[in-house]
């Protein structure tokens, strides 16, 4: 009964989306207020219906209703409750429903909160949003219905892929989707603006909070995925340039570019057609990600069940949305240009270079990701493009960007004084040298790029802090005065400083954990001691442990430092009999200086039951990755809470900050 | 000129989509690693019977000695799809007279014999691969898997997953008939 309600709600949502996709946009072109306003109730109804459908599916997972195919193939009655809930979006169908739900949530968000958006733009935006909804809802209903029944129902389910039975990964898809799909509303705004033929600073201001919200979610989602890979896959790495990681990373890179170019559109009324193009491409890359994950186009650890029919359907959807919007762009963009002029040394120019570097980096990642497909299509050879290509292509593009991030905020609009900016950055240059020297001292034979990157991290950290300090006149004025200034500073200014510092911290983590990683692999029998990075790790043996839906070989290791016992580490190797899968659970001792990371592998031989393969890793600074991400996310929230951008808040011109006080981020 | 430049993104996307469409060809499998065992002799093994059953154990010699093509099915009592295909396998044996051998993979003997008692035993011989060692030699990617072995002891066909729908049964039957025809032609 409940699944049928869900099914019915899904169909009604499609009907609501169909109305929303036609009526408001027609009303906007004919000037009929009532038709335009119909976008608001339809968006809300669509969102409510999809919530009902999603709740119905979730309920089927919670009570393990194996008459529903989707539940039977992705759940198991013995699974812990949280993973039953997470199973709702663990499958192709369920995650698609989540996609559609988030799409509708963003539409409803604009309908409810966008009170100050002109009626015409709002109606068109919501109609475009509904076009996307119609595409995805029909795709779901016709090819991947989450509510399909099975008779006779199986005795028990097939279980969710045990690798995915993890708290980090249970939360990763919803966050990632919030980001992916969040860019849909930006896309809709862009297409609506193209249809209207008008892009102005006000448009940029309406788009910005949605871009920021999507960007923050995507940042969090990618970081969670990365964190999961780090402790769950058992290889000790956090980024593998896997196609599916890349498809989430590309919208992030381009979304970051969009975030910055929209500032120029907002402040200086220029870069308009570029901002629109970025808005379209960012969401196009999100769609591309959805397509690649679900079509079996590339080989990846994440791929969902492959079905060519589905692939063709999504490809058609993509061709219409991406091809259509880009054609519209080519047709309407010439009408958009104009706006302020600027000299080669100015904040505009800095942001232009930022955009070019980010766009080039995105193109490089896209090319590397799709190259195996190109090559196979043309020559028939099967290859995979691995980290060496991406590191060689990506890192050199990022280094100048990081350098620029330090100077950029010091540059003023239109015409800037580079010499003056560098004068104020003496301290940052000094710190950068100290960082680089320390990196060189730490590992004299290490990669040169690591030394440069580490130096740049110091540079960015100090430059960002310095910029913030000079805004609040820290040290130049009495402390109370600085405090007052800090209070009055637009939230977006704090946001920029935090986010830029976050990037610096991220770099420390990246360099430390990839360039200076220490690794030991050995056959260990009880009593074996491994020495690594000043720790002595003693292997005490392995015990068989039983979990709710798995059995596990749990190793026990004791960690000493300078003869004193510090901690006990228990890495596991789990076998999930229902899903027929083996997983490793690493054991980690985390400190700010680095992680001691232990995994246990196969027994060395069938006969020698007490000899095990042991991997012991020391990853310096790896936690800076997560700390840096937290900075990025908090920075994003700060910017989001800026009064200037607050969605739906009544304008209070009296207390609004003067425009020149608004930072680049 | 500038207007033409604005069409560049659409053009690039058009080319990309051409590749994507090619990539969706259902016959193309980016993960495809052809089974190394096809046209190779079946791996050497000798497995004891499942304790608590009357059925004898299974070795590669038993397969060769069968004198006609046989089906080797890898199953386990903990495997739900195996339960589904069990009916189909039983029917194949009883109605089509197929010779069916089993490898009981990573399964406790008591569980396996209870499972066979409950569902019936269509297997002529069953080897108990409790350690999973023989499974590795057969290159298992999961359970169930089914192999067709010809009279020379060569693996001619491999089916991954449960044999439940008619498509799967047809594939198995075709492979068996080809193997029989080859044996008849060779004699």
d(CA A353, CA A364): 16
Contacts of A308 in chain B (CB under 8 A): 24-26
Instruction: Tell me whether residues A373 and B23 touch, CB distance under 8 A.
Output: yes
Is the pTM here over 0.80, yes or no? no
A271 in the same domain as A255 = yes
A178 in the same domain as A86 = no
A170 in the same domain as A144 = no
A395 in the same domain as A269 = yes
Q: Please state which of the ranges A566-570, A580-584, B6-10, B177-181 shows the lowest mean pLDDT.
A: A580-584
Identify the pLDDT of residue A282: 95
Say whether residue A312 is in contact with chain B using an 8 A CB cutoff.
yes
A354 in the same domain as A218 = yes
Query: For A347-403, what is each residue's pLDDT tens digit?
Result: 889 999 999 999 999 999 999 988 888 887 887 766 667 777 888 889 999 999 999
Q: CB-based burial of residue A214 (10 Å sphere; 0-12 exposed, 13-18 middle, 19+ buried)? A: buried
In a domain, A627, yes or no: no
Residues of B with CB under 8 A from a CB of A: 2-3, 6-7, 9-10, 13-14, 16-17, 19-26, 29-31, 78-80, 83-84, 131, 133, 142-143
| Structure ipTM | 0.78
Q: Beta partners for A474? A: A477
A244 in the same domain as A143 = no
Q: Helices (DSSP H) in A559-652: which residue ranges?
A: 623-640
Instruction: Tell me whether residues A606 and B2 touch, CB distance under 8 A.
Output: no
In a domain, A662, yes or no: no
Instruction: Work out how many domains chain A is built from and give that number.
Output: 3
**pLDDT band of B29, cuts 50, 70, 90:** low
Query: Directed axis angle between helix A201-232 and helix A272-295, to 10°?
Result: 30
In a domain, A479, yes or no: no
d(CA A67, CA B26): 29
Q: Which three-class secondary structure state does DSSP give residue A411?
A: coil
Instruction: Tell me whether residues B6 and A330 touch, CB distance under 8 A.
Output: yes
Mean pLDDT, all residues of chain B = 83
Say whether residue A299 is in contact with chain B using an 8 A CB cutoff.
yes
Contacts of A315 in chain B (CB under 8 A): 17, 20-21, 24
The domain spans of chain B are: 35-186
In a domain, A634, yes or no: no
Identify the pLDDT of residue A648: 44
Average pLDDT of span A54-76: 89
Query: Is residue B34's pLDDT more than 50?
Result: no
A90 in the same domain as A209 = no
Average pLDDT of span A427-441: 92
Compute the half-sphere exposure of residue A167: CA atoms within 13 Å on the CB side of its CA. Answer: 0
Structure tokens at A566: 């510090």
Query: For A482-540, what is each residue's pLDDT tens digit?
Result: 888 888 888 889 999 999 999 999 999 999 888 888 888 777 888 888 888 889 999 98
A144 in the same domain as A221 = no
Interface test with A, best of B9, B32, B78 (most A CBs within 10 A): B9
Interface test with B, best of A254, A331, A580 (most B CBs within 10 A): A580
A343 in the same domain as A329 = yes
Q: Please state which of the ranges A174-188, A451-465, A555-569, B32-46 shows the lowest mean pLDDT.
A: B32-46
Q: Regarding the domain delimited by B35-186, which CATH topology (the fold level of the hierarchy) does it fall under?
A: Glutaredoxin (3.40.30)
Say whether residue A153 is in contact with chain B using an 8 A CB cutoff.
no
| CATH code: domain of residue A573 | 2.60.98
Is the dihedral angle over the CA atoms B127, B133, B134, B140 positive or is it negative? Answer: positive
Domain carrying residue A269:
166-423
d(CA A555, CA A598): 10
| CATH code: domain of residue A8 | 1.20.120
Residue at which a domain ends, from A378, A397, A423: A423
Instruction: Tell me whether residues B6 and A334 touch, CB distance under 8 A.
Output: yes
d(CA A450, CA A349): 28
Residue at which a domain ends, from A112, A142, A160: A160
A144 in the same domain as A216 = no
Query: Directed axis angle between helix A243-268 and helix A167-196, to 10°?
Result: 40
Residue at which a domain ends, from A620, A638, A659: A620
In a domain, A655, yes or no: no
Contacts of A577 in chain B (CB under 8 A): 78
**pLDDT band of B36, cuts 50, 70, 90:** low
Kindly state the DSSP code that residue A124 receives in the 8-state scheme: H
Tally Cβ neighbours within 10 Å of residue A458.
24
A110 in the same domain as A170 = no
Contacts of B85 in chain A (CB under 8 A): none
A105 in the same domain as A12 = yes
Strands B155-160 and A535-546, by their bridges, are unpaired
Query: For A322-339, what is each residue's pLDDT tens digit?
Result: 999 999 999 888 887 666
d(CA A564, CA A536): 9
Distance from CA of B58 to the nearest CA of A (A): 21
> Smallest Cβ distance to A315: which of B3, B17, B80?
B17
Identify the pLDDT of residue A78: 79
Instruction: Tell me whether residues B80 and A299 touch, CB distance under 8 A.
Output: no
Contacts of B160 in chain A (CB under 8 A): none
Distance from CA of A465 to the nearest CA of B (A): 39
Contacts of A606 in chain B (CB under 8 A): 131, 133
Q: CB-based burial of residue B64 (10 Å sphere; 0-12 exposed, 13-18 middle, 19+ buried)? A: middle
Distance from CA of A475 to the nearest CA of B (A): 50
Query: For B82-125, what is each residue's pLDDT tens digit?
Result: 877 888 888 888 888 889 999 998 888 888 888 888 888 999 99
Q: Which A residues, 539 through 598, put their C-beta within 8 Å of a C-beta on chain B? A: 577-578, 580
In a domain, A579, yes or no: yes
d(CA B129, CA B73): 12
By C-alpha distance, which of A66, A35, A262 is closest to A158? A66
Contacts of B29 in chain A (CB under 8 A): 296
Query: Is residue B187's pLDDT more than 60?
Result: no
């Amino acid at each position: 009964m409940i699944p049928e309600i869900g099914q019915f709600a899904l169909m009604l949502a499609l009907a609501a989306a169909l109305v929303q996709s036609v009526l408001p946009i027609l009303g906007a072109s004919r000037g009929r207020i009532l038709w335009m306003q119909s976008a608001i109730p339809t968006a809300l109804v669509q969102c409510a219906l999809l919530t009902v459908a999603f709740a119905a599916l979730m309920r089927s997972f919670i009570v393990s209703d194996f008459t529903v195919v989707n539940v039977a193939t992705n759940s198991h009655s013995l699974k812990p409750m949280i993973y039953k809930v997470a199973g709702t979006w663990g499958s192709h169908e369920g995650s698609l429903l989540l996609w559609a739900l988030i799409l509708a949530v963003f539409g409803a968000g604009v309908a409810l909160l966008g009170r100050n958006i002109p009626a015409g733009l709002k109606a068109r935006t919501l109609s475009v949003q509904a076009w996307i909804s119609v595409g995805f809802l029909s795709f779901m209903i016709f090819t991947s219905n989450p509510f399909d029944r099975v008779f006779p129902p199986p005795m028990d389910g097939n279980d969710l892929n045990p690798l995915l039975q993890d708290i980090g990964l249970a939360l990763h898809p919803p966050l990632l989707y919030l980001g992916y799909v969040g860019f849909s509303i930006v896309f809709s705004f862009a297409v609506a603006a193209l249809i209207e033929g008008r892009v102005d600073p006000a448009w940029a201001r309406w788009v910005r909070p949605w871009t920021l919200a999507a960007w923050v979610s995507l940042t969090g989602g990618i970081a969670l995925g990365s964190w999961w890979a780090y402790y769950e896959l058992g290889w000790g790495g956090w980024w593998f340039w896997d196609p599916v990681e890349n498809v989430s990373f590309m919208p992030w890179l381009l979304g970051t570019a969009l975030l910055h170019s929209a500032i120029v559109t907002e402040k200086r009324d220029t870069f308009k057609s570029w901002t629109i193009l970025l808005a379209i491409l960012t969401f196009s890359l999100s769609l591309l990600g959805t397509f690649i994950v679900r079509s079996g186009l590339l080989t990846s650890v994440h791929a969902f069940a492959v079905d060519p029919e589905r692939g063709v359907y999504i490809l058609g959807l993509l061709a219409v949305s991406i091809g259509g919007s880009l054609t519209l762009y080519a047709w309407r963009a010439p009408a958009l240009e104009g706006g302020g002029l600027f000299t080669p040394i100015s904040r505009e120019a800095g942001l232009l270079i930022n955009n070019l570097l980010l766009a080039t980096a995105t193109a490089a990642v896209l090319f590397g990701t799709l190259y195996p497909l190109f090559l196979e299509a043309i020559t028939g050879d099967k290859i995979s493009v691995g980290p060496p290509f991406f590191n060689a292509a990506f890192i050199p593009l990022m280094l100048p960007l990081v350098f620029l991030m330090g100077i950029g905020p010091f540059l003023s609009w239109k015409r800037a004084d580079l010499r003056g900016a560098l004068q104020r950055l003496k301290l940052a240059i000094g710190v950068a040298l100290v960082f680089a020297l320390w990196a060189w001292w730490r590992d004299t034979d290490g990669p040169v790029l690591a030394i440069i990157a580490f130096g740049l991290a110091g540079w960015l950290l100090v430059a960002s802090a310095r910029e913030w300090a000079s805004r609040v006149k820290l040290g130049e004025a009495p402390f109370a005065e600085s405090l007052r200034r800090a209070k009055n500073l637009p939230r977006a200014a704090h946001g920029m400083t935090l986010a830029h510092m976050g990037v610096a911290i991220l770099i420390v983590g990246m360099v430390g954990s990839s360039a200076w990683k220490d690794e030991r692999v050995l056959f260990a029998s009880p009593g074996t001691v491994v020495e690594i990075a000043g720790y002595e790790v003693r292997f005490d043996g392995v015990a068989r442990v039983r979990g709710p839906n798995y059995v596990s070989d749990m190793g026990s290791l004791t960690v000493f430092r300078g003869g004193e016992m510090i901690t006990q580490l228990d890495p596991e190797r789990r076998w999930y009999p229902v899903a027929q899968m083996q997983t490793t659970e690493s054991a980690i001792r985390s400190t700010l200086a680095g992680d001691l990371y232990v995994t246990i592998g196969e027994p060395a031989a069938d006969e020698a039951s007490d000899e095990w393969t042991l991997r012991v890793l020391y990853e310096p600074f790896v936690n800076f990755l997560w700390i840096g991400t937290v900075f990025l996310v908090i920075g994003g929230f700060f910017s989001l809470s800026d009064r200037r951008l607050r969605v739906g808040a009544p304008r209070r011109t009296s207390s609004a900050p003067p425009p020149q006080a608004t930072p680049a981020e | 000129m500038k207007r033409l430049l604005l069409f560049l993104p659409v053009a690039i996307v058009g080319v990309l989509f051409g590749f994507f469409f090619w990539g969706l060809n259902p016959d193309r499998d980016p993960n495809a690693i052809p089974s190394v065992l096809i046209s190779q002799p079946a791996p050497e093994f000798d497995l004891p019977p499942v304790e608590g059953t009357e059925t004898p154990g299974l070795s590669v010699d038993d397969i060769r000695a069968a004198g006609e093509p046989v089906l080797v099915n890898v199953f386990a009592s903990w495997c739900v799809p195996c339960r589904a295909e069990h009916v189909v396998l039983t029917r194949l044996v009883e109605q089509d007279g197929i010779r069916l051998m089993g490898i009981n993979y990573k399964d406790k003997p008591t569980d396996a014999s209870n499972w066979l008692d409950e569902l019936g035993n269509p297997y002529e011989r069953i080897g108990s691969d409790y350690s999973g060692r023989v499974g590795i030699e057969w290159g298992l990617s999961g359970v169930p898997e089914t192999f067709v072995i010809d009279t020379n002891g060569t693996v001619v066909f491999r089916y991954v997953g449960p044999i439940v729908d008619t498509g799967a049964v047809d594939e198995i039957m075709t492979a068996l008939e080809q193997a029989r025809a080859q044996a008849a032609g060779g004699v």
